[in-house]
Amino acid sequence: MLRFRALALAAAPLALAAAVAPAPAAAQATGLAQVQAHLRAVNTMTANFAQTDRRGRTLNGTLTIKRPGRIRFDYGRGSDLLIVGDGRALAMIDYEVNQVQRWPINDSPLSVLLNPNQDLSRFSRVTRNDAQVLMIQARDPRRREFGTITIAFAKVASAPAGLMLQGWTALDAQNNRTTIRLSNQRFNVPVADSAFRYEDPRRRRGPRG
């Protein structure tokens, strides 16, 4: 079911542009440094997203990020699914069956986007860096079960550190591929901490409020 494939969000090659062989050492260092600068320059971000699984099924919603560690995938009031990272754990809340599943944020490849202070060179490499696109691929070689994430940035002079996050593709250990494409990106806008809280369905009865 698509709702469970949503977990691959937390898992990467992005279809926005084809990945190629790793860049030379100098380009690696320059590209990763630019991504690091972008992450440190963006405290908050909001965007619309389109999430597509390997069968071509698509869900739409809104993405909210507040660094460090907080993220929200909101599929709208008509959906029974919500994914929230509160800075410590990533939770998938399924209101249809009243279940909550949680994982440490650091066990998710999404941590690449949520922790601006980690050393990207330890687990990431640049796979494309030209005048239009910068792409990095991240994978922890010690924890392959967490999958791979490839993140694409457009080169936009007016964006923080000259980069606009375009999306990513997540590939989990079971080869389930999920692609996220972003639009209407906004940086450093006010975001309340309450955006990263959720109603626990295990503590209530009746339809979602």
Question: Residue 27: what pLDDT?
Answer: 74
Position 143 in a domain: yes
Taking the C-alpha atoms of residue 15 and residue 4, their distance in angstroms, rounded to an integer, is 21
Q: Note the pLDDT of residue 58.
A: 92
pLDDT, one tens digit per residue, over 20-52 is 455 667 778 899 999 999 999 999 999 999 999
**Domain residue limits at 66:** 2-198
- What pLDDT, in 10s, does the model give residues 157-184? 999 999 999 999 988 777 788 999 999 9
Nearest to 158 by CA among 188, 179, 135: 188
Could you tell me the two tokens for 86? 């509160």
Q: Cα separation of 76 and 95, whole Å? A: 12
Structure tokens at 95: 């209101």
Q: Where does residue 99 rank: exposed (0-12), middle (13-18), buried (19+ CB within 10 A)?
A: exposed
Q: Is 60 exceeded by the pLDDT of residue 69?
A: yes
pLDDT band at 96; cut points 50, 70, 90 = confident
Residue 160 within any structural domain of the chain = yes
In a domain, 131, yes or no: yes
Residue 43 is assigned to a structural domain of this protein = yes
DSSP H or E segment with residue 47: strand 44-53
Residue 204: pLDDT above 80?
no
> Domain with 68 in it: what CATH number?
2.50.20.10
Is the confidence at residue 10, as pLDDT, over 80? Answer: no
Mean of per-residue pLDDT scores for the chain: 84
Reported as a single tens digit per residue, the pLDDT across 103-134 is 888 877 788 899 998 899 888 999 999 999 99
- Total of domains in the chain: 1
- Residue 2 CB burial class (10 angstroms; 0-12, 13-18, ≥19): middle
Residue (of 183, 184, 152) closest to 169 by Cα position:
152
Quick one: pLDDT at residue 192? 95
Whether the per-residue pLDDT at 145 is higher than 70: the answer is no
Flag whether pLDDT at 5 surpasses 50.
no
- Please check the confidence at residue 3 and state whether its pLDDT lies above 50: no
Question: Is 172 inside any structural domain?
Answer: yes
DSSP letter for 107, please: G
Residue 144 — very low, low, confident or very high, per pLDDT cuts 50/70/90?
low
At 2, is the pLDDT very low, low, confident or very high (cuts 50, 70, 90)?
very low
pLDDT at position 22: 55
pTM (2 d.p.): 0.84
